[in-house]
Amino acid sequence: MATYTALTHLPGREAAEDLALACEDLTPEPVGTGVFEIEDGSERWEVGAYFTEAPDEIALAILAAAYGAQPFAVSELPDVDWVAHVKRELTPVRAGRFFVHGSHDVDQIPDGVEALWIEAAMAFGTGHHNTTKGCLEALDRLATDGFKATRIADIGCGTAVLAMAAARLWHVTVLASDIDPVAVDTAAANVIANGLDGRVECVEAAGFDHPMLERAAPYDLVLANILKQPLIDLAPDMARHVAKDGRIVMSGILTTQADEVTAAYQAVGFAPDRRDDMGDWTTLVMIRG
């Protein structure tokens, strides 16, 4: 079956979401749409629509013009088994004591590591992206330095790889939340696959807005690998939910954005502990004063 993509970008999340919604009224109808922030500091958003038959390019051009977007770029994707392709291309990742792998690499697990199994089909949060790898390395350093955590939350958990890593390190129950119900289901499946059922609890929530997350506060450690603006927006809530001398580990931050995120957290009582840059991405560790 042929698959077609139609991609554009424009300033502003609200306009991008409105455009994606308008695309759903096209004929032929897309099988899915998506809105993603372009992570280059430009404050622009990408809108994608996906079709199983050739889209109406005139209708797409009219929509782009109506919403102030760039013209849609329409492409036909090759007929590829993408999961098999990803399995071939994604090699295991070593991040401190952690070894993140798929089922196809289970025979490559070295001795003496904390192995985390994340399937290649769930590529976001497998550890291959420098934001996830940076957070895993930060967790490894905290444990090596003797930091102890008994109350831990992973906000915006994705695949729950960070929550599972923390549960392995400190042998406590970790709360993992995500605003996306599909991510929560994926996270819960990964928890079971890694033998951590009952050690990582996955809930659907925006930030800390869930009774379980509220009851468990204040936290010794909060993990948040999301994006710059959601992190900044979360700063006041983070200050309310993190205990004195507690740590936060944050990423999803471009190196050009790190100072802005740091300043937002300093303004609510956090002090910088460590900054690590990996390629274009930064991982921040901060301490609650």
State the binding site for S-adenosyl-L-methionine: 132, 156, 178, 225
Task: Give CA–CA dist 190/121, Å, rounded.
Answer: 12
Rounded (5°) CA angle 259-40-186:
95
Residues 6+ apart with CB under 8 A from 166: 139, 149, 152, 154, 172, 174, 221, 223
End-to-end CA distance of the chain: 57
Token duo for residue 222: 């909060």
What is the β-pairing status of strands 93-95 and 3-11?
A: unpaired
DSSP assignment letter at 31: S
Task: Give CA–CA dist 99/128, Å, rounded.
Answer: 11
115, 109 in Cβ contact below 8 A? Answer: yes
Q: Which residue has the tokens 């790190």?
A: 258
Residue type, 134: G
CB neighbours (10 Å) of residue 10?
Answer: 18
154, 170 in Cβ contact below 8 A? Answer: no
Residues 6+ apart with CB under 8 A from 145: none
Task: Give CA–CA dist 177/209, Å, rounded.
Answer: 9
Binding-site sequence positions: 132, 156, 178, 225
Task: Give CA–CA dist 23/235, Å, rounded.
Answer: 34
